Chain A
Amino acid sequence: MNPLHFLDFSAVSALGPDRDTLFQNLIDRRPGLSYASSIVPSTSSPLGEIPFALPAPPPPLDRFHSRCHRIAYACLRPLDASIRAVVEAFGADRVGVVCGTSASGNRSVEESWQNDGRFDFDYHHLHTFGCVSRLLKRLSSLQGPAFSVSTACSSGSNAIMSAARLIHSGTCDAVVTGAVDSLCLTTYHGFQSLQIVDPDYCKPFDADRKGLNLGEGAAFFILSSKPLADYPGIARLLGMGASSDGYHMTAPDPEGLGAKLAMQRALEDAGLVPGDIDAINLHGTGTPLNDMAEARAVYQVFGDETPCSSTKGYTGHLLGAAAAIEIAACILSLLHGTVFANHGMSRQDPGIRIRLLTEHLRQSVRRVVKNSFAFGGNNTSLVIGI
């Protein structure tokens, strides 16, 4: 593919309200996971809940007041200047919005239920999957196409791939893209029912891993056809790959066939070979089946030399926003020459043969692969480089 340019990005999660605090907490190995939760007060597992106040969108957009929308608004605000720059360069009608989300406004329904149970509830502004993209478009006064992508835990990567296609096809010159999701009781109890939640802090790829910890947050990117004078680009999207497992709704293909295909397609799209990749940010949820399948797939494509890690031990699993926050981490790796340690793992599963980092690796990082996998066997891999 013709590489596209990440001109700017922002991130909000339990690790902090911006990308600088995200980086500092990753470097300091300070996870944002905690048993303290206002959303699930009786939680039996750590959650990556955002601990600071979230602003409501200003009038007349205050009808979009779900927690998901407030996280999105908090994450969008730092991009005001770069959005103005792309609008000035290309025109508002040439800048689109593609946002990933999985839980969307579920938390709003829950709040309505808990408050009075009457459901005088504005479905179109609080719950539909498309409304978050509509909000971002209106907050930024953009006039290009706006839609949401919802493929569960790979929503963020699929959103970025959709954004890239809008640019490649000539529909847009730049797209505000990324993903957002908020914690809610629905996903908390849903994942508990699947029995893939670790009651302790999650330990991706550890021999004793029990499952995931849920989190929430957002990361947004300005993806552009070309660099601008004031925004020369901080990273580039080099390749994209996607596949379906065709296996099971929640369990991955045990041999990682779909995951392997996604990685191979991304490398082919980038015109690269496995040896060109400096690091892999793994999906790495901490569930026994997912980690094993992903490790098998990575080993088949990359062998056992490429440094790998999951950052879910810091943020928790942000579901629809997981890929987005992890792509933000990938860009931080490129900018700072650091591959982050796989937090939480004390003893690598002996059946897993890939090179997992127990400490940060400081070295030149030119190209990274980001894996994201989801319910329905939806697999994505992106190649991001300097």
Chain B
Amino acid sequence: MKAWLLAHLRAFSDAWRRLAAQPLAAGLSVLVIGIALTLPLALAQMLVQTQRFAERFTGSPQVSLFLAMDVAADQRQALETALRAHPGAKSVRFVGRDAALADLAKSAGLGDVAQALPANPLPDAFVVDVRGTSAATLEQLRRDAAALPGVEHVQSDHEWARRLDALVSLARSAVLAVAVLLAAGLVAITFNTIRLQILGRRAEIELAQLIGATDGFVRRPFVYFGLLQGLLGALVAWILVAAIAAALDRELAVLNRLYGSALHFGLPAPLTVAGLSGLCALLGALGAALSVQDYLRRGLSK
């Protein structure tokens, strides 16, 4: 275990030393990776903020449950409890039939008509604010509510939620496609960088193999090099994304003042930054590992 750890520490320090020994070449590779990663990261951040803004702008989708006329108070109470317990429900509001009639009379200017009615035709109702904007959540809540005893009719404004969902899904797919392409680019850049390094160190590698180096011993420093390059590339990308965010937020602040909106670009959560940086590092390591493997496969027969 100790020997294994020592071998990895040695390979890591070797990789770091080689990165530092060629600041220009390594710096340019890191910059290219950083710029390539900036596009999907910035687009993803823009998508997240657009989605949040859309949620705030349009408000939560609602489901209205109209009860049967003969629903007793205790049954109504049970219904309210069931609705509040539903994972898709953010808040539940009861609208009594008298309040609904009064509201109708007031909002539609139908006061005279309402007074002329022999009896109140409106049922009791619950208005449920849905958690999130997912069309799937909305649909699930609608179905569950419709199945509850005493509920006669359910109405939901799920069309706009579906449209928003479809738009977000389309944008997410586009970002994902760009991200996959650029991730492949990162792997290719690292593959090529490492291939050039291998060519430069071919004598050393061949000697090491002749005197007993395993494939792992040969591979390790290059994989760490690729890992560091990917990580530094991600760091550059985040710096660029932060710069873009700062520039856009200045412009958005003007719009926000004019329109009373709350648009901003911002930065992702630290956990997201760490996770994506780790992913970039892994992609760099993958490119390096593939490059060394390709060399080893074409090198000594055994």
Do the two shown chains form a genuine complex with each other? Answer: no
